[in-house]
Every structure is written in structure tokens, then in C-alpha cells.
Amino acid sequence: MSRLEAKKPPLFISEPLTKDTVCQSLLLLSRIFKSSYGPAGRLKQLHNGVGGCVCTTSQSSALLRHLSVSSPVLRVLTASVQNHVSRCSDCGLFTAILCCSLIENFRSLNVAPCTVIKITKNLLSLCMDYLKSEACGCQVSVDFSSVETLVCLTNAVLGKCVIIPVKGRRVMDSTVLPGLLIETPEIQLGKPLAVKRTGSNMIKIALFCASMSGDSFSPEEGTIAVRHGISLEVSELNQLLNVGKQLVNDGVGLVVCQKVIHPSLKQYLKENHVMAVDRAGLSLMEPLSRMTGSKPIASIHSLSPGCYGSLKDVSIERVASKHFVHLIPGDTVICSLILCNRSETAWDELKRVCETAEHVLQLTMKEPLALLGGGCTETHLASYIRYKSSSLSTSTFQDLGCSQTQYQLVADGFCRSLESVARSLNHDGGEILTDMVYGHCWFVPSGLLSVSNWSDVVSKCGCGISGNTEDLSWRILEGQSCSPVIRGCPKEPSVKVTDFLTLDCFAAKCSGLQVALETANLVLDLSYVIEDQN
């Protein structure tokens, strides 16, 4: 029922970041993101009180999709992170946490927003130059010939992956199968498969993207007048059977149709030992044609021998309660990923993770670089910025139009935000340290009271690259600004302890850093919010 309401005047809020409600919402959002971050991140359950499905997740894409944010200021933030995730799929939580802490830190500084924005732009250019340079201490080049680096990046497999949903089984039942799977009803089960093969023991496959159900031609405009005694359907069926005859003559062993195959045609093909699979769907057409080398036939009148492809084998697979026709090609470049999970929401999460992993691999193929994970890139970058900002010349300050103190304050805020991202990886208590030489991030388990020598306690840094703790000195990562200790430029660890590193996607992380900073600048620059109430 709709009501007529008097038009309320728009709501006008000035200086939104100074309002308590916005600050509290920002803190809450920040806590949600921080507590979901990382491999030890806790799950969140999104629950609608009036029914509907429940979503349990720790991924930014799912969280942001279901969360409804009322404050317009924060909606800018969530929209920006969602756009980033749709582009890069990874580092969504990283962007969100960094953005929130940047806003919190810069808001409390006593520097005008326009100056902050100018300084942060300068800092961002410093960061990006460093990250993209050859001498970057946290960059790892990815060598596609060794699988270890790729496995470090994600846990998916190279090649084109088709994801098939199966619910109700254990997660460990997820498997990878070469080739493609097409879902079919149970009818074909039980009978041994006798499929016609060619001379070289391959199966010829014909792929149809047109409808073979006999109702192909229904003109949109104009009319067709049919004389009494003639049936268009019979005519179409005859055409279809002619097609069937030609397929049999050409030695085709398997016919796959995107749409429906007429039952009479199916019967005829079965009698002639040709397997027919229909309702394959549009999404399988391209992978099928690439895998088998067949060209999808668009009309039943245009059959040519050059359109057929070849397969190595066909079998029937049964997973949980679903039946699939399994097409195995000669070269196993294309494979299918069967994902199983007990509950729908867990399965959704698994599917999203696999899709993200695939996207990360694609991005890495374009730019074969990776960044150290586990919080080490963030702390390394923070110590680099601290070092750089203390050694800038006065001409830089004049160009920017700010004083050195202002620059130091903003740079300190920026570094603290980076470090807070690294700190939020730790969910189990304990301390987080950073070393003074490499700038990496080290976790100390809780329960150890005042230890005199940190190097007795730490074993491996967050990314796993360095384990040598003898000559390093430490500092506890805290939230407050520390005294600017002038130390040298953070170095790259020369000795690699293990080959198993924690790595992050380079493109996604760089893009996330830039988007976080730009969104923070945008939010800090907001001086008025005008909201239409109805």
C-alpha cells in the first residue's frame, strides 16, 4: 500500500566526518573487516530476521553485497571496495581495512584536508614507484615453469576451469577431472556405452548451437499460410531426420546440442550407436568447441564435414546424486573442478574462493610479479616510507605547499594505517613485531610474558622468507605513532629459508592500495552531505 507523504526537505549535514554517528559506523565497519581478514579470520554470519537464506562468510564481496549501510559517507567507501573487487577479485578486505584506517588517522590530524590530499598523492607516487621498481624488497617474480610459486599464490590449477556445483558431500570430495562434464538425466545410466569410433580410435563429435527440436522457424513478422493437408511439423521432422542420416554417414559418434533435440531424432541416433546429449547450455559451447576443435553448427541446413571435432573418450560419471557425461579430450588442457560442500553457504564460499584464485592467476599471467604476503609487504612499505619521508629535500615541501611537520604527520598516519592492516592479521592475541633491517612482520604467540630477547621467540616472518633472527633488532607494532627512528632503507632478505612463501597478487594489491587512498581522499574531502529523504 502506498501512501502519499508530504515532501520533506532534503537533509543537509555539514562536515559529516565530525559527527559521532558516522564515526561509530566507521569504527564498526572497520572492526568487521579487520576481524575477517587473513587465513585466521573469523567468519561472519549474515542473517535476515524474517527468513531467507543465511550467509556465512569472511569474504569482502559477500559481506559488502549483503550489508546495508545507511550513512552516505560509508556507502562511498563500500561502493568503491565493491568496484575494486569486481575488477580484481582479490584484496578486497585489504582495501577496505586500509581505507577505514586512513580515514580514521587523517581525520584526527590537525591538518587541512586539501593539504592532506596533496601529501598523500605524493606518498602514493612514492609507494608505486618503489613497488614497481626493480629494487623493491617485497617483490617476487613469478616463474611459470615452476609450480611451487603458483601453488604459493593460490591453490587452483592452471588452464581453463569449469566449475560444477555439487552439494551435500564433504569438502574433501572435491576433485579435478580432465575434460568437461555435461549434466544429464539418469536415463542413460546402466547401459554400456557403445560409441562409434573412427579409425584412429577417436570419437567424432558434432556440436549444434541451433535448436533441433523441430520448432525452429517461427517468423516474427508477417504470416505463413499453409495449405490444407500439409504439416510444417512433419516437414521439419523430416529435415531433422535427414540431418541425422548425414551425421551417421559421416561417422559421428557424439552429438551435443545446446538446446533441445527432438525425441524422434534422439531415438534414431541411438539406434545407430550415436550418443546424443542435449540441453548443454550456452556456457559450455565455447569450452566444448575449443576443447574438441569443433565449430558449433548454427543451422540444420548447413552441415559441413569441417565442423566436426574429436574426443578421446566418453564416459558416465556419477557424483552425489547427479549424473554427468564426461568428455575426455586428447590433450588435457581444459579441466573441470567439482566442488563439494555440506551446506549451501559453505559451498558458495568455496566457489567464490576458486573463482578468485582463477582470476588471480589470470592477472599474474599478465604481470608476472607477486608481493610478499603475511603482512610483510605492508610493514616493509611502511618502513620504506618512514625512511624516505625523513630524508626529503625542502624543495619538495615548497612544491607541495606544506611544511615539513605537516608532511611528517601525514606520512606517519599513512604508515600507521599500513601497519594496522598487518596487525589485523593477528586474531589470537600475542604480539606483532617488525624488525629494523628488512621491515618484515613477525608474529609472537601469546602467553609469553616479558621476554628479554625477542629473537629467542620468533622463528619465521609472516611471509616465510626469512628465518634468520640473529642480527635483527625489533620493535613492537603499536597503534600509536612511534618516535621517528631514522634507520636505513629496508633491505631485501638475501637468504631464503624455505621455498614455501606466502604471496599476494601484485596487480590486485597495487590497485587496492591506490583505490584505498583515493577513496580515503574522497571521503576526507566531503564537506557537505545533502540527502533527499523522500
* Residues making contact with another protein (CB under 8 A): 76, 79-80, 82-88, 112, 114, 128, 209-210, 217, 219, 221-227, 230-232, 234-235, 238-239, 295-299, 301-302, 511, 514-515, 518-519, 522
Cell readout for 220 is 516474427
Cross-strand partners of 210: none
User: Which amino acid is present at 133?
Assistant: S
Residues 6+ apart with CB under 8 A from 171: 340, 341, 342, 346, 350
Q: Which is nearer to another protein, 96 or 385 (CB)?
A: 96
Half-sphere exposure of 359 (CA within 13 A, CB side): 15
CB 509 within 8 A of CB 91: yes
User: Under DSSP, is residue 302 helix (H, G, I), strand (E, B) or coil?
Assistant: coil
On whether the CB atoms of residues 90 and 398 are closer than 8 A, the answer is: no
Between 173 and 518, CB nearer to another protein:
518
Comparison of 79 and 193: residue with beta carbon closer to another protein: 79
CB of 195 to another protein, least distance (A): 26
Pairing mode, strands 203-208 and 322-328: unpaired
Q: Which is nearer to another protein, 88 or 463 (CB)?
A: 88
> Which residue, 250 or 518, has its beta carbon nearer to another protein?
518
Give the nearest distance from C-beta 307 to another protein in angstroms: 8
User: Shortest CA distance to 483 belongs to which of 386, 403, 395, 400?
Assistant: 386
| H-assigned helices in 370-455 | 376-389, 394-400, 404-423
Nearer to another protein, 142 or 516 (CB): 516
* Least distance in angstroms from the C-beta of 407 to another protein: 17
CB of 322 to another protein, least distance (A): 29
Which CB, 200 or 223, lies closer to another protein?
Answer: 223
User: Shortest Cβ distance from residue 261 to another protein (Å)?
Assistant: 17
Burial of 465 (0-12, 13-18, 19+ CB in 10 A): buried
In angstroms, rounded to a whole number, what is the distance separating the alpha carbons of residues 17 and 26?
10
Q: In angstroms, give the least distance from the CB of 129 to another protein.
A: 12
Closest approach of Cβ 302 to another protein, in Å?
Answer: 5
Pairing of strands 335-341, 161-167: parallel
